Each structure stands twice: as structure tokens, then as C-alpha cells.
Amino acid sequence: MKLKMYLLSTWNVFDPIYCSLRRLTYIDRANQNIFRVKLLTYRGKEIAMSDGTRIRNKDLLVKIHLYNVQLLRQVLHVTNNVQKGRIIYRCVDRSLPGVCQFIQNHPRGNEIKAIIGITMLNRGCRQLGFDVVPISNPLYRGFKWINQLPIHLISVSNPINRFKKRHLPTYLVMSKNKLEKIYGHPST
């Protein structure tokens, strides 16, 4: 536990630098929204979502990044992985309306087609409205696995056993229309 606390403290110091380098925008920090976002021009294979929306090359998306330091502070002392999952689920559910509002208020909001994120923790994502899509490029998937491994190891109670299960990163996508339907309020 002490090692996790030390790693979290160190991460907390470098996180603002990471955020600045990645040009991420905080969403509603006052209400502890756990997402930071940026606009992204999609480059990749076409993605067909469950609501019929298709993401194609050069479509404008909002890339969502979990504010991991803030999220880990909430789950660090919880030892039960099911409880951790519930806390994360509630945080995401509570934060998605802020992402919807960000899109509705953005000058290019009409051009934005969907939100997209990458995670190794995709349990419960379908209930939130996301489609879970495998990352087809093995090199990119491997890069993201290495990149997300530290957060995964810090976030689970028994990292060695969880590591053996070899969670792979996946895309989480949700069309703007679905996001607005579930989490938005009609703009006036």
C-alpha cells in the first residue's frame, strides 16, 4: 500500500505536465469530473457502432482521458475489486453529462461524431452506453498495453493475479447522438 501511495504522489506531481503536453482540457473540475478531453481526427479502420453510426477516417471525435490520479484517490483504500468497479462506474456515469455539455458548447460541436477512449478496464461500459471495440493494430494495442500497465497495476488489489489474466486495451466509443440521448439535455 505504501508503494502505491508513493507512486500516486509521484504521478500527481507529473500529471499536470502530462496534461499540458497532451493538450487535454479539464471538464468541470469544480464538480470532480473525471474526464479530460481533446479533439481528435480519427485515423484508423471504420468502426460500426450499435446505434448504426459509423466512424470513418478523418471524422472529428472527442478523445476522453480518465483523470487517473483523481480516480485512484477514490479507490486506493478500497480492497474489494467489485466495490472499486462500482465506484469507477458511478464516477464515469456522473461525469459523462459534462462531456456531453462540452460537445454541445464547443464551436465545432456540430462536426463532432462520437467520443472515444482506450482502456483496459471495460467491464460495465456497455451499461453506460459505450460500444467496446477491439484495437485491430497489434503494435498499437501492445503500445497501449504497456502505456496503461502502470495504472492497471496500481488500481487493482492483487496485481500479480490480475496481471496473469492479461487484460488487453480496447476502444470505448459512443456516438454523439447516443451520448446526448442518454446524458444530455436538448440545447436551447
Condensed to tens digits (0 to 9), the pLDDT of residues 23-38 reads: 888 888 777 888 999 9
Residue 117: pLDDT above 80? yes
What pLDDT was estimated at residue 100? 95
Q: Is the pTM of this model over 0.85?
A: no
What is the rounded CA–CA span in Å between residue 85 and residue 155? 10
- The residue ranges of every structural domain in the chain are 2-183
What is the rounded CA–CA span in Å between residue 145 and residue 82? 22
Residue 12: pLDDT above 90? no
Q: Degrees (nearest 5) of the Cα angle 172, 177, 182? A: 75
